[in-house]
Structure formats: C-alpha cells, structure tokens
Structure 1
Amino acid sequence: MLQNWKKILMLAIPSLLSFATATVIGTVNLIMVGHLGALIIAIVGVSNIIMYNGFAIFSGIGHTVNYLVAQNYGANDMRTGVKRMYYALYLCTFFAIVLLIMGWLFSGVILGWTGGSSELVSVGESYLQLRFVALAIGMISFVFHGFLRGIGDTKTSMVLSVISNVIILLLVYALVFGHFGLPELGLEGSGLAILIGEAVGLLLAIYVYFFRLHPLYNTRTWVIPRFKDMGEMISESTKLGVQEFSMSLSMFIFTVFVARLGTEALAANEVALNVMSFGFMPAFAFGATATILVGQEVGRGQPLRGRRAGTDTAIMGSIFLLVLGTVEFFFAENISKLYNNTDPGVFHTAAQLIMISAFLQLFDGLLNFYAGGLRGIGDTTFLLRASLVVAWCLFVPLSYLLIFVLDMGSIGAWIALYTYLMVFGLTLMYRFYRKNWSIIQVKGGVHA
C-alpha cells in the first residue's frame, strides 16, 4: 500500500505543481487586471470560458495520446506509441490553424453571444483575439504533454509548464502596467503575455520530444498517415473531445445565464471560479495520474492492479481536496477581497459562492479521478454518453430553473453547478467499480 501511494505521489505532485503554477498565474493575472475594474474582470472571465470551450473541442487529441501512449508504454510497445503521437500532431496542427483563423475573425461575434454589454464586446475583442492565437499554440503543446504523461514523465511536463507560466507572469506585470521599459498595454498586454508564454512553451516541448527523447524512442521517425490508424485516433479523440466540449459548453451557457444578472454578478462568479480552480488543480492532477497508472497497468496485462491504482489515486486526491476546502471555507471573504475590495457587491457574493463550493468540490474531484481511470482503460464511449446526459438533461435546465424561474440569482446558479458535479462524479465512480476488470485489454493498435 505504502509503495503504491508513493508511486502515485511521484506522478501526481509534478502534475499538481504544473497545474498549480498555471492556476496561480491565472489568479495573479486576474488580480492584476482586476484592479482595472469590474468590466475587465468580466471580460477576462468570459474569455476564460470561451477559451475553455475552444480548448475542449480539440482536447480529446491530447487525452487520447495520453491514455494510448500509457498503454503502449506499459506493453513495452513505444514504436506504436510514437506513431500514435505523429497522428495526433497531424490532426492537432490542422485544427489549431482552423481555430486560430476562426477566433481572429469572429472574436467580437463570439463575445456578443455571451449576452454581455456592448462595452464588454468592444473593449474585449482584441484581448480575445490574442487569447485565440495563444490557444491554438497551447493545443499543440497539450499533445506533447500528453505523450510525456503517458510515459510517466510528469516532471518534464511540470518544468515546461512552470517556465511557460513564469514567463507569462512576468510579461503580464510588464505589459499591463508598463514596467521594465515595455509599453503600458492594459488588458491587451495580458493577452499578449499569454501568447508569448504559450509560444515559448511549445518550442521547449518540441525540443524535448524531437531531440531529448529521440535516443530513447526514435521520435524523429517520419510516419506516413494511414487511413485506418488515423481513423482510430479521430474516433477516440472525437469521443473525448465531445465529452469535454459538452461540459465546457454547458459551463458557457451557465455563464451566459449569470451574465444576465449583471456585470457585478458576472465578476463575482469569475472570482469564485478562479478561487475554486485551486480545487480543480488537485482534481486534474490526480485524474491525470489515474489515467497514467491505469493505462500502464492495462498495457502490462494487469487490469486489476490498474483498478487498485485508480482507487488509491482517488483516495489521495480526496484528502487534498478536503484540506483545501477547509481553508477556503473559513477564509472565503478574505480571499475574495484579494481580487476586488472596492465593490462590496462583488466580494460579498464571491465569498458566499466560495463557501458553498468549499466542500462540494469533492464531487468535482470524484468526476476527474474516475474519468481519468476510465480513460486509462479506454472507456471513452461511456464518458461521452454520461457527459451529454448529465450536462444537457440536468445542469442546463436546473441552472435556468434556479436562476430565473425561482429567482435565486448567483446562489441558485452555484447550487445547480454542484448538483451537476455531484451526479456526474458519482455516476463515473459507479461505472468504474461496475466494470468487469478481468477482461479489459489494450485498446486497438497502429499497424506497421
């Protein structure tokens, strides 16, 4: 038991630090631009939701690489793993170009869809354009990180993420306020900083994959696309991508509903979501660890050991979330005032939302832990179906009912959010333990 937990921590802590760095950078970024006013907080919040949706559409490629390479690594078949990585890069590069063009041309239209004010659209359009370019770059980086996690090299993934995010932090400070001899660009400076940081991160990931890993896995071997093998990558990526997009689009509609309550409510919602991202952080980290460990054990022909690894990962991740939730609950208002201490309507509402979610975020953890385990065995069809049903038959209708029909405002919105996370998390946990693990095998294969 102790050895298993140590292995989990050795994989999870680098991922945790990687997500933590990104979360802290996002928080500091929001704090810095937040002093420019509630409108700017609202723009950043809406843009973050849009970015989440844009990323989610194509994130299935990176998630697919992650679990397939983990299985190949466990089976000692990295020749197939490298081929799958090339197929993923072909797909992701194509879609990144499409996303970049669409985002650059239609950022203003997309902001208008959120239902925000005309001022929000006019001020935020150029910022969102920069975020779309950064997103296109980051999508490709995500595929490289998926490969690194698949082989269990979460430390390198962490280092690349930290470097990229520190660059973003320094440039946000310099470009938003005009320090270090750089121009004062305000909100647009924040967008440009994110773009530059993502570009540096991609260059570093390219170096690691094609140069540092080449002696081990022959990563510079050109792979000619084959329809059958590309079809497998497209199928798996589509299922995982649609699953993520279903979740993110429902969150987008949730944000649109909240936006109808006014700029103050939207700003408070963004502050609370940003604080709760500290809970998403260990949830994502331990979920990624579950995918690695379960996938590798399946590759080794030991699925029952994978089930045990998934359970241990969920237990450890839950402990992290409970400790974090205790801190958030007792210091909710102090935390919310770090973002904005001049608008009582913002920080009081944000504090209430933080207290609601402090312990309920455990269900978000269960969602991520067991989704990670199910990805590890390739149970992608169930993940897709569960995501569609819970998001569109429960979350969106319940949000509308509590916000508008019962007039519960922001509080009603967050009750709906955590009802959704609770049902989804418990559903995936039930599926994880009801599977017949004795018959689980490696997913598919790329042909020579």
Structure 2
Amino acid sequence: MKKPVRLTLFALTWPIFIEISLHMLMGNADTLMLSQYSDNSVAAVGVANQILFLLIVMFGFIASGTSILIAQYIGGSRERSAAEISVVSLAANFAFGAFLSLLIILFDEWILKLMDIPLELLSESSFYLTFVGGFLFVQALIMTTGSILRSYGHTKDAMYVTLIMNIINVIGNYFLIFGPFGFPVLGVEGVAYSTVGSRIIGFIIIFIILLQRLPNQLPFKELFSLPYSHIKNLLKIGIPSAGEQLSYNASQLVITAFIAMIGTEAITTKVYTQNIMMFIFLFAVAISQGSQILIGRMVGAGEYEQAYKRCIKSLKISILLSIVMAVLFSFFSKQLFGLFTNNPDIISVGSILILLTILLEPGRSFNLVVINALRAAGDVRFPAYVGIVFMWGIAALFSYFLGIVMGFGLIGIWIAFICDEWIRGLIMLKRWRSRIWVRKQFVSSKNGVDA
C-alpha cells in the first residue's frame, strides 16, 4: 500500500483559514446587511442563530469522529476503512439532521418563548428559525462532506465551495433585503431564503467534488453491510467531542437568556461583538483543525513524539497570532462597530468587550488547539468532562453573578468568559503534557485492528 503524502501544517491550514473566514463573512454579511434594515431584525436573527448553532454542533459529533478516524486510518495505511467511515458518516448525519429539522419545525415558538426573548423579536425569530432550521440536514451533509475532504488533504475544495456559497448568499441578501429592480423587501425572511438556497447549492457542488476526488473508493452500495464497528468508533469519539461542544453552546444559550434580561440593546451588542471577535480567533480555529489532521495521522502511524511536538508548536503559533489580532482589532473597534450601527451605547460597550478580548483569546487558543489534539489522539472524554464542569460552573454561573446580580452587564459576562477559557485551557495543556493520550488511539497501525 502506498504511503500517504506527508502534509504540512501550512498546506492544510491556509485553505481552512480562508474557508472559516468565508463562513464568518457569510454570517457577518447577514448581520451587516440586516443592520441597514433594522437593529431589531439583527437581534431576532442572532437569537435564532444561537439555537441553530447549538443544533449544528450536534451534527459535529459525527463530523468530528469522521475526521479523526479517517486521519488515523490513513496514517495507519488503512484506506479501505477510511472510505467505509466516510459513507457511514454521511448516512448517519443525514438521518440525524432530518430528525433535528423536524423537531425545529414542530417546536420553534416553544423554544423561543423558553428563552424569554423580547416580544418584539418573536415573530421574525420564529420564521427564521423554522425555515432555516427545517433545512438543517443540508448543513449536516455539508459539514460531513467537508470533513471527509479535509481529512484526505483536499482542504482547498471546501474553501472554494464556501466561496461560492458566500457569493450566492450575499447576492440573495441584496435582492431580498433591499428589493432592487422591483424585488420584494423581505428583511429577515429574505435572509432565510438566501441562507437555505446557498446551502443547498453548496452541498450539491461539494458532493460532486467528493465523488470526483475519490472515484470508485466510497462503497455507497455496501452501506447496510458495512461493519458495525464503524458506527461504534464514530460514537466513541463523536459523542464525548460533541458533549464538550454541546455543553459550550448550551451554556452560551443560557447566557444569551441572561443578556435578554438586560434588554434588546444588550443582545444586539453581543451579536455585533461576537461577529467581530470571530475574525480574531479564526487563526486559532484554522491552526487547531490543521493540527488535528496532522496529529491524527501521526498517532495512526505510531509517531507519538512528533505528535506531541506538533501540538506544542501549533499552540505557540496560535497564542501569538491571537494576541496580535486582538490588539489590532481593539485599536479599530469603534470604526468596526460603526460598520454595523450608529448607536453610541452599543459602540461604547462593544469597544470595551473587544479590549477584554486581548485577555480572552490567548486562553481560547489553549482550548481550541489542545482539545483538538487530544481528540485526534483519541483522548475525547476528558475534555468533555472538564468542559461541562467549567462552562457551567464558571462561564454560566459567573456570567449571572457578575452580569446580573452585581450589575456589571456584558462586561461582567466577558470577565466570566475569560476565567473559563484560561482555567480550562491550562488544565488541557497539563493533560497533553502527561501523554496519557498515547494509550487512547482508536486505530493500531501495527496489527490493523480497531482499538
């Protein structure tokens, strides 16, 4: 069997970086274009997206397991098993996505009322949540297909597809939000149509690319006869990984409910701030994903020392870039907020939050890089357990105490975020240095047997 081509972090990371940037631009394009329509519409879509992101993370437990297993199988020279995992994961996430889409359609208003969102946001939030949520299964397929391509080293393909989706989404937004040339002015409704339309077209394109990249390798016809162990291993990696991400997003959902207690303006400020912050930590996200692929292959090949050094080196790069970007954005925070709104209170509070991001983002780098490294090595339960304890015990609890009880508002909530990221991140680094993960991998390259 031919040995897989040796990949570099840079070759993997720069397309991932651009792809993530484009994903963020898509969200920011929605926010920026809607901000010219109505601040309340921005808040309505922001609340609905908080719920949708929570569900999308649940698709991630299949996509995450897929990426790690494919990387370990390729590193262990087991290409047939890698192809089988690809097919099983696509089928599993389609079924799971369809189930969650149905739940959203049935319970959208109940979920929004449970969050106690302001009454003036309910109608627009409900429509956006129902329509976009009803097509969540398409996003599940896009995520899984993208994970497969990236794990095989085809990171540029997902980047190009994301670019096409962005172009379609922005054009759709322009016509359906502002109504030029006689088109109807639809606002939030128009954003929902553009989002779903761009995702459907994006999936069709990325799936065709997958079939072209791996011709005659993916055993779709054998789906129901593939080994049960594939599902078992996907769940063994994916459920704890998703548990950590699910806990994070669920805690953020609760914190959003706390912010809703402060008022609609606070929700809008949070949405604008986090849209800007995304561009600060995207370097860390890209580095962590590229490192995960490399470390997974190294672990699958039994190259544990190389895997250890790769994580530490990636972490140092990520922290440095995060600090530089946070400082840079803090200098121009008022101008950046001015792109979204002319409300002086939103700009003032948001600028303070961006300043606090200089402390927040290095801590986030620890979690992004080291947790993905631990997952790639098969050590998936520990990050999930620690995450659940600290996201709720520090992030959520202290957000309520500092933000609501003590009356510090969004600034108090950001301080809680900083404490959570740093404490949890340092614990993850200690875990990596302990090298316990050496005994956790799912694939043995020596005997070809799944762990």
The TM tier, using the shorter chain, reads: over 0.9
Aligned counterparts of 1:115 and 1:11: Cα–Cα separation in 2: 42
Equivalent residue, structure 1, for 2:95:
94
Shift of 1:221: 5.2
2:64 matches 1:63: yes
Query: What amino acid does structure 1 have at the position aligned with 2:203?
Result: L
Q: Contact (CA 8 Å) 2:87, 2:220: kept in 1 or not?
A: no
In structure 2, what is the equivalent of residue 144 of structure 1?
A: 145
Which deviates more, 113-122 or 258-267? 113-122
- The unaligned stretches of length 5 or more in structure 2 are 1-6
Q: Which whole-Å CA distance do the structure 1 matches of 2:331 and 2:359 have between them?
A: 11
**Is 2:304–2:438's contact at 8 Å kept on the other side of the alignment?**
yes
The answer to whether the Cα contact below 8 Å between 1:304 and 1:437 also exists between their aligned partners in 2 is no
Offset, 1:335? 1.0
How big is each residue's C-alpha offset from its partner over 1:246-274, in whole Å with a ceiling of 9 and x where there is no partner? 01000111111011000111111111111
Q: Give the direction of change, closer, same or farther, for the CA distance of 1:401–1:359 in structure 2 (3 Å limit).
A: closer
The secondary structure found in structure 2 opposite 1:351 is helix
Which residue of structure 1 aligns with residue 268 of structure 2? 267
Aligned 8 A contact 1:175 1:189 in 2: yes
Secondary structure of the structure 1 residue equivalent to 2:400: helix
> Which consecutive unaligned segments of at least 5 residues does structure 1 have?
1-5
Map 1:121-160; keep pairs closer than 5 Å: 121-160=122-161
Give 1:439 deviation, angstroms.
Answer: 4.9
* 1:390 to 2:390 alignment: yes
SS for the counterpart of 2:222 is: coil
Task: State the distance in 2 between where 1:220 and 1:52 align.
Answer: 29
**Cα separation, 1, equivalents of 2:430 and 2:280:** 22
Conservation of the 8 A alpha-carbon contact between 2:244 and 2:383: yes
Per the TM alignment, residue 437 of structure 1 is displaced from its structure 2 partner at its CA by: 6.0
Contact 1:301-1:441 within 8 A present in 2 as well: no
The aligned counterpart of 1:355 is 355
Query: Which aligned segments of 4 or more residues in structure 1 are displaced greater than 6 angstroms?
Result: 444-447
Alignment of structure 1 residues 82-121 onto 2, 5 Å: 82-121=83-122
- Percent of counterpart pairs with the same letter? 24
CA distance in structure 2 between the aligned counterparts of 1:275 and 1:250, rounded to whole angstroms: 20
The one-letter amino acid paired with 1:43 is: A
Alpha-carbon distance between aligned partners in 2 of 1:134 and 1:282, rounded to the nearest angstrom: 29
Letter of the aligned partner of 1:199 in structure 2? Answer: I
Question: Deviation digits for residues 365-388 of structure 1, max 9, x if unmatched?
Answer: 221011111111011111211111
How much does 1:283 deviate? Answer: 2.0
Counterpart contact for 2:289–2:372, Cα < 8 Å: yes
Aligned residue pair count = 441
What's 1:370 paired with?
A: 370
Secondary structure of the 1:295 match is: helix
Return the alpha-carbon distance in structure 2 between the equivalents of residues 302 and 40 of structure 1.
51
The TM-score with structure 2 as length reference comes to: 0.93
2:175 aligns with 174
Output one character per residue of 1:397-448: Cα deviation in whole Å (capped at 9) or x when no partner: 111111122111111011111211112222212211112466564437788x
Q: Deviation per CA, 1:196-228: give whole Å up to 9, x if none.
A: 11111111121122233115x345552324444
Provide the secondary structure at the position in 2 that maps to 1:183. coil
**Is the 1:141–1:205 contact (alpha carbons within 8 Å) kept by the matching residues of 2?**
yes
> What is the CA-CA distance between 1:101 and the residue it aligns to?
0.8
Using structure 1 for the length normalisation, give the TM-score: 0.93
